[in-house]
Amino acid sequence: MIRIHNVLVSPGEGGVYGERMLDGYRVWDPYRSKLAALYTVGTGIELAPAMRVLYLGAANGTTVSHVADYVDTVYAVEFAPRPMQDLLEVARRRRNIVPIMADAGKPEEYAHFMEPVDLVYQDVAQPDQVSIAERNLPFLLPGGWLVLMLKTRSVDVRRDPEDVLAEARDALARRLEVVEVCWLDPYHLDHAAIVCRDRRCAEVK
């Protein structure tokens, strides 16, 4: 990841959402992006130019635009019509974004658009966030990555967020190697990042 004076940036054209520019790079604000928060408080994964990404819960394209600055292709899935309008404008300016209006919990709706991906990134506000991630794992290449931004209050507002996180981590560990787990405080309260890798990575080394 690119940092200038310890500030996380991405190398694309500015003016997507009023972001600041620094030495010709776009400042990637951790208060506006959970992925930027992960890179700030944790480690995350290195985005590379050859990567293909399935982004679930693309919203209006803020984080999508930064990811697209680093990788080859982003398949950006969003269900709500209003954010999709903003996402389409972002995709118009970045031709490596493929906007898909569909329900992330129903991957069969967009399977015909897809190719195998190196990273599944998920940021959706649903109770069944782990189940949604698992339904999209068939798109993941051997050795690929899952980054799940867990919104604990969307899972169950009555439960302790620590318990919700532990349950999600254990569920994902049944199929994937859990590499990193961290809370995104102070940037996004009651949100946690779970970074996992497909265990088939040993087959492709």
Tracing tokens 């130019």 back to the chain, one arrives at 49
At 122, list the tokens.
Answer: 């998920």
Please give the angle made by the CA atoms of 131, 201 and 171, to the nearest 5 degrees.
25
Does the annotation place 113 within a ligand binding site? no
Does the annotation place 139 within a ligand binding site? no
Does the annotation place 124 within a ligand binding site? yes
Neighbours of 103 (CB within 10 A): 16
Does the annotation place 73 within a ligand binding site? no
At 53, list the tokens.
Answer: 């990404």
- Integer-rounded Cα Rg, in Å, for the chain is 16
Does the annotation place 76 within a ligand binding site? no
Does the annotation place 125 within a ligand binding site? yes
Nearest to 70 by CA among 94, 87, 90: 94
Does the annotation place 198 within a ligand binding site? no
Does the annotation place 126 within a ligand binding site? yes
Nearest to 62 by CA among 95, 98, 91: 91
Does the annotation place 62 within a ligand binding site? yes
Residues found in the chain:
205
Does the annotation place 78 within a ligand binding site? yes
Amino acid at 180: E
Rounded to whole angstroms, how far apart are CA atoms 99 and 88? Answer: 7
Which residues are part of a known binding site?
62-63, 78-79, 103-104, 123-126
Which residues are part of a known binding site for S-adenosyl-L-methionine?
62-63, 78-79, 103-104, 123-126
